[in-house]
């Protein structure tokens, strides 16, 4: 039995059947675990483990030794599992084409729920409440919150703008968020 994995791979590339067997025995359990966690079907997972090793051995010459063999093999296993799930995916139903039934054709009607005035009103009220809450903060907390969340500035940029240490910026943002949580609890 060969101990060094790069030597085993070289032997497998040379056609050594024992090297192939050793690679399979070393990695079978881990490959099965990966595949089964993705597809949640033990019987199909066993088939995919075999498929993974067949794909790996068919493309073993493309394996680059600067990467770990196990990482390369596990990627093949994950891709095989994803391909399996894609093939099993239920065919999509077209909303434009009529549906054939035993009684003839039937059009599919789907309600348009994209426009919801009530939800828009609630969001608008929340937005105003949040803006009011921010406006009611003490100035030193309000300015860091505005810089951070409205202007999307980093802590370092805020510190430079206000000429204060980054730690102070973080502390003020933390305190401002706590004040906002208290003010907005009833929304």
* Residues 6+ away with beta carbon under 8 Å from 1: 18, 22
The residue from 88, 118, 143 where one domain ends is 88
Helix (H) / strand (E) element for 105: namely strand 104-106
Domain span at 174? 128-184
Q: Give me the half-sphere count of Cα atoms (radius 13 Å) on the Cβ side of residue 158.
A: 25
The residue from 64, 88, 112 where one domain ends is 88
pLDDT in tens, 69-111: 888 999 999 999 998 988 887 555 566 666 666 677 777 676 6
The domain tally of the chain equals 2
The pLDDT value given to residue 129? 83
CATH number of domain containing 139:
1.10.10.10
pLDDT in tens, 121-144: 777 777 778 888 888 899 999 999
CATH number of domain containing 12:
1.10.1740.10
> Of 72, 73, 67, 66, whose CA–CA distance to 48 is shortest?
73
């Amino acid at each position: 039995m060969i101990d060094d994995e790069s030597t085993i791979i070289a032997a497998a590339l040379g056609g050594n059947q024992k090297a192939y067997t050793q690679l399979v025995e070393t990695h079978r359990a881990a490959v099965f675990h990966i595949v089964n966690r993705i597809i949640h079907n033990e019987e199909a997972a066993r088939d995919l483990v075999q498929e993974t090793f067949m794909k790996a051995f068919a493309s073993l010459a493309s394996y680059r030794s600067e990467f770990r063999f196990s990482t390369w093999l596990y990627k093949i296993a994950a891709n095989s599992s994803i391909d399996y799930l894609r093939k099993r995916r239920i065919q999509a139903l077209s909303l434009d084409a009529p549906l054939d039934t035993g009684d003839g054709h039937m059009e599919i009607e789907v309600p348009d729920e994209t426009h919801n005035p009530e939800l828009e009103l609630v969001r608008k009220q929340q937005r105003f409440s949040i803006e009011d809450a921010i406006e009611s903060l003490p100035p030193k907390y309000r300015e860091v919150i505005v810089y951070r969340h409205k202007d999307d500035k980093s802590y370092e940029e805020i510190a430079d703008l206000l000429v204060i240490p980054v730690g102070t910026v973080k502390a003020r943002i933390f305190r401002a968020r706590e004040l906002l949580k208290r003010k907005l609890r009833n929304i």
